[in-house]
A = this chain, B = another copy of it.
């Protein structure tokens, strides 16, 4: 299974510490060697770095770890190919424009027999179930809303679309437009919110610590979401299975079941 990492903050923050541990899962401490990627939002702008080399020894990952890009929303992914060969066009995160904003998406899981008829402007470039799911989401969101809705208005629609896709298999995903972060847990996804009083965190995958009280501002609020907790001395919270979660300004703002969205 692939690995997801997301960050949503109330102030631009660099992800170097979390990424240091996360990248090791790409061919180092874990067996996910089929490429990796990371997308950073800076205002409305977005830049992503993707590579088919394993993250543990990619020169691009070296650069990302050393170059503190400060961002309010980040999505990263380490791939273990299930559907679609190892190729750049199959490497997450995927990116498309909708309502004049960039949207970024990464998926962990495996969708069986998910081959929707995709007419309209969002067509997959590669051949993964994940990119098909992303195109399906954008197609229906665009159909539902002529212009950008608030995340609160978008929530029930996305929850219902998620439930439809999740009927095909494991569908953990992260989705962001740079203003907020949606995180869906099918069966694996945890999070932590760091805010004052800040403490020292220690990575699980390598012997590296950071004292956030020395680097964070007193009003900073940073949510980190990952397939598995990244640190071993902090309390991470598991989302409930089959829930869609919305993070705004570093805090969990909404949460709702996708097991039976009509009832929630």
A88/B42 in contact, CB under 8 A: yes
Task: Judge if A199 is at the interface, Cβ distance under 8 Å.
Answer: no
Contact flag A99-B123 (CB < 8 Å), given A49-B47, A59-B63, A63-B63? yes
Residues of B within 8 A of A75 (CB): none
B100/A124 in contact, CB under 8 A: yes
Residues of B within 8 A of A60 (CB): 63, 67
Residue of B nearest to A58 (CB): B67
Interface footprint category on A = 35 or more
Residues of B within 8 A of A67 (CB): 59-60
- Docked Cα-Cα span, A124 to B96, in Å, equals 12
User: Helix, strand, loop or mixed for chain A's interface?
Assistant: mixed
Q: Within the oligomer, what is the number of copies of this chain?
A: 2
Residues of B within 8 A of A211 (CB): none
A39 to chain B, nearest CB (A): 11
Contact flag A45-B101 (CB < 8 Å), given A60-B67, A63-B60? no
Residues of B within 8 A of A254 (CB): none
B interface footprint on A102-137 (CB within 8 Å = 1, 0 otherwise)? 100000000000000000111111100000000000
* Residue in A47, A48, A96, A124 with the greatest tally of chain B CB atoms within 10 Å: A47
Task: Judge if A87 is at the interface, Cβ distance under 8 Å.
Answer: yes
Residue of B nearest to A41 (CB): B88
A135 to chain B, nearest CB (A): 9
A45/B121 in contact, CB under 8 A: no
A71 to chain B, nearest CB (A): 10
- Docked Cα-Cα span, A46 to B89, in Å, equals 7
B88/A45 in contact, CB under 8 A: yes
B125/A101 in contact, CB under 8 A: yes
- Docked Cα-Cα span, A239 to B116, in Å, equals 45
**Which 7 pairs, one residue from A and one from B, show the smallest C-beta to C-beta distance?**
A45-B88, A121-B121, A100-B123, A45-B89, A63-B63, A44-B89, A59-B67
10 A-B residue contacts at CB 8 Å?
A45-B88, A46-B88, A47-B49, A47-B51, A59-B63, A59-B67, A60-B67, A97-B121, A100-B124, A101-B125
Could you tell me which A residues sit within 8 Å of B by CB distance? 42-51, 59-60, 62-63, 66-67, 87-91, 95-97, 99-102, 120-126, 142
